[in-house]
């Protein structure tokens, strides 16, 4: 059994009234799943659509996760990405004793993001 055998990834986005925006997170989850690095990859949204963050956490636990990495699909460390998710994390650790929940950093100023920005800029040229 690998170290990540019981680790789940819960990808979290804000949620949108536009189905296309929500579908992007679902596609990202598929791509992360395809890497094979994590046996459980789920999606959740802060608001406006389903599944909610509590539903996503519950699904991870029901699928056997002993660790859940809450990955905010946000660009900056704002209130949602930091405060709101930390409140959920604290609540989940009480609700699911024996399961470790942690909030990852948002995408932010990761060095690879520069390449993404440059690629998007070149797409319109």
- List, by residue number, the catalytic residues: 14
Sorted by sequence, the CB contacts under 8 Å of residue 43 that are 6+ apart come out as: 10, 11, 12, 13, 25, 26, 28, 29, 51, 56
Residue 74 backbone phi and psi in degrees, to 5: -130, 155
The answer to whether 106 and 81 are in contact (CB under 8 A) is yes
The answer to whether 66 and 99 are in contact (CB under 8 A) is yes
d(CA 26, CA 12) in angstroms, rounded, equals 10
d(CA 117, CA 12) in angstroms, rounded, equals 21
């Amino acid at each position: 059994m690998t170290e990540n055998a019981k680790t789940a990834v819960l990808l979290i986005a804000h949620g949108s009234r536009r189905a296309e925006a929500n579908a992007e997170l679902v596609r990202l989850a598929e791509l992360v799943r395809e890497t094979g690095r994590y046996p459980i990859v789920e999606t959740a949204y802060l608001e406006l659509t389903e599944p909610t963050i509590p539903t996503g956490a519950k699904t991870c636990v029901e699928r056997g996760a002993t660790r859940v990495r809450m990955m905010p699909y946000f660009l900056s460390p704002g209130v949602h990405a930091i405060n709101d998710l930390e409140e959920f994390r604290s609540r989940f650790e009480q609700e699911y004793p024996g399961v470790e929940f942690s909030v990852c950093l948002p995408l932010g100023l990761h060095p690879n993001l520069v390449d993404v920005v440059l690629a998007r800029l070149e797409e319109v040229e």
